[in-house]
Copies of this chain bind each other. A is one copy, B any other.
Amino acid sequence: MVKKNRFSEPSLLILISLAEKKRHGYAIMDDIEKNYDIKLGPGTLYGAISRLEKAGYISVLESQDRKKPYKLTEEGQIYLTEQIKEIQKVTSLGMKRLGLA
């Protein structure tokens, strides 16, 4: 009934980045900047990452070097799908009301 989680920009962007493939922090940053021209600072990025990890939506993988690759968990994929659909519902009504759809 009631929705708690707002769809915060950084975490959503991170999830979408990981929806394509596993990536470590800086690679996520680059992907987001390349695709949307949005540059997340390290605090924003890693803060969001650790919250997402705590929530179980992403998980960290083994690595040989100091990079920490993350992947989207199944739970994260489900969550992301729901979120996006919800957001699309909102934006499509918005477009309609703006007379642009």
Contact = CB atoms under 8 A, between A and B. Distances in A.
Contact of A94 (B1, B38, B80, B91): B80
Contacts of A6: 8-10
Nearest to A98: B19
Contact of A87 (B81, B91, B97): B91
A39 B1 contact: yes
A2 B86 CA distance: 26
Contacts of A36: 3, 86, 89-90
Interface in A72-88: 77, 80-81, 84, 86-88
A65 interface: no
B91 A77 contact: no
Interface of A: 1-3, 6-10, 12-13, 15-16, 19-20, 35-39, 77, 80-81, 84, 86-91, 93-95, 97-98, 100
